[in-house]
Amino acid sequence: MHSSGLLLALAAPAVYALPYANSIAAIFRYWEHLGNLTPYWTPDNTPQNLLSGLPDTCSVDKAFVLVRHAARHPISGELPAIQTLSSYINDNAAVFSDPKTTVPSEFNFLSGWRSTFILNNLTAPGRLEAFTNGVNLKLDYPQLSTNTFLVGNQDRVVETAQWYIDGYVGRYANFDQQIQLIGEDSATVSWITPIDTCANWTYNSGQVPITTWGRVYLPRIATRINDLLQPAYPGVNFTADNMHGALWACAYGDAVNGTGTSPWCSVFLPSEFLDFEYELDLLMRGAFGYGLPNDQGPVIGSLLVSNMTMFMLSGSSPSAGANLSVAFGHDTTIDLGMTALGLLNDTSFPAEGPPNPARLWRTSRQVPFNAQMVFQRLSCAGAPNSLGTQELRIQLLMNGANFDLSGVGCRTDKYGTCAFSDFLATPNVRAALAVRHGDARWTAACG
């Protein structure tokens, strides 16, 4: 997708130079490794075996756009660890205000630091992400249009949609555009939040593996930092949970004030960021992907696949909204859809580590804040089908980069696209299209 100078200025500040040597690199872009808390970015992550853009004979005649909400404050499961860290520092203010020797420069901020985070709300960088990506949607698809937007009814999702639509439409956004709110509750069958109507689904499916991994990597961070600070602050005793809070404080400090602004981000080694990234991969894969038990991931994610394919199969009338679908949801929506399609499926994902640097499931790349999952239907000349019309192909873009659809089971070209008819005939898509909410397969997985 198109990238504006404003967004690049937000998501890619000057390269972060570490004040110490390490085994990974002396220069490291930590903000590209914050899992699903990564600021929106458009990395050149089209696989090396693919070309960017469209096949020469093809044009986009329909697009199905799923937008994750933009950058936010911590959620309820994250904020307590940050607050505990803040309490420890401020309960020991006398220690941190009276160092016994020179404090390592990256820790000079400790004296007086306290948490000011709130729950859930969209942030200023988040508003910029949403507005900019709305502008980019207009620039990327000038031939397509819609005046109806599906929006999950949660504050941060609704506000994201409002800023995004303002960017897409402009100052008259409130006149002709319709926001259709979709309930996020156990009474509303929704492909945006399908977990809400899966009674057997539990967030604990993701908590179990991250607890295991946390016991591996967090204590060694605490030990390293305590050893480093002991000369200046005798008796300092940051716990593993404190270090968890510090990693959240890094990610959310940047989410609130802009990339590169949180003082906590300067205290961690690149390897520690990569371990934190793996924790978030484990969480999202465990709770909203292949780590879910009893066929839940493909079953729940099938609702997204069904909605996307039904839209692509409908005709392309000239009426407004017929060729562009835009919906606003969550990282979980995207992850479950990927799972139903059989994409990003690793053969091994051990909770005890070590992280595989070549793993497919990477939340930093697939679901950063304001992630854009875009399915494009392509009309291609030179390959007429049985009806004598142009061949239809399907292409997936993830955050602006071509995605190889061969993982679904169809044969792709050098742009990652495959014939739409072949896509529909793959076992993963056929299985997803056969699922109905409340049918035998759904009930077996969800109760």
* Element at 375 (helix H, strand E): strand 372-380
| Per-residue pLDDT, 19 | 38
- Give pLDDT tens digits for 285-312: 999 999 999 999 999 999 999 999 999 9
- Give pLDDT tens digits for 4-57: 333 333 333 433 334 333 333 447 899 999 999 999 987 566 677 889 999 999
Nearby residues of 41 by Cβ (< 8 Å), 6 or more positions away? 11, 12, 31, 32, 368, 399
Residue 116: domain span: 5-446
Query: Across the chain, what does the average pLDDT equal?
Result: 90
Per the structure, the count of domains in the chain is 1
Residue 33: alpha-carbon gap to chain centroid: 11
- CATH assignment of the domain containing 146: 3.40.50.1240
Look up the pTM and report it: 0.91
Nearby residues of 446 by Cβ (< 8 Å), 6 or more positions away? 197, 198, 199, 200, 201, 296, 299, 300
- 């299985």: which residue's tokens? 431
What type of residue sits at position 110? L
> What does the alpha-carbon distance between residue 396 and residue 389 come to, in Å, rounded to a whole number?
22
| Per-residue pLDDT, 314 | 85
Terminal CA-CA length for the chain? 40
Residue 16: alpha-carbon gap to chain centroid: 22
Beta strands (DSSP E) in 169-228 are 178-182
- Give pLDDT tens digits for 120-165: 999 999 999 999 999 999 999 999 999 899 999 999 999 999 999 9
Q: Where are the alpha helices (DSSP H) in 294-438?
A: 296-313, 331-341, 363-366, 420-425, 427-434
| Per-residue pLDDT, 10 | 37
- Give pLDDT tens digits for 359-399: 999 999 999 999 999 999 999 987 555 445 679 999 999 99
- Give pLDDT tens digits for 174-224: 767 789 999 999 999 999 999 999 999 999 999 999 999 999 999 999 999
Tokens of 319: 């009426």
Of 137, 139, 145, 63, nearest in space to 394 by CA = 63
- Give pLDDT tens digits for 309-345: 999 998 644 444 579 999 999 999 999 999 999 999 9
The count of other CB atoms within 10 Å of the CB of residue 289 is: 29
Question: How distant, in Å, are the alpha carbons of 34, 294, 331, 335, 363 from that of 366?
Answer: 12, 24, 9, 8, 5
The count of other CB atoms within 10 Å of the CB of residue 101 is: 9
CB crowding 14-29: b at 16 or more within 10 Å, else e: eebebeeeeeeeeebb
Name the β-bridge partners of 67.
Answer: 328, 372
pLDDT band, very low/low/confident/very high, at 2 (cuts 50, 70, 90): very low
Q: Where are the alpha helices (DSSP H) in 49-148?
A: 79-91, 93-96, 124-140
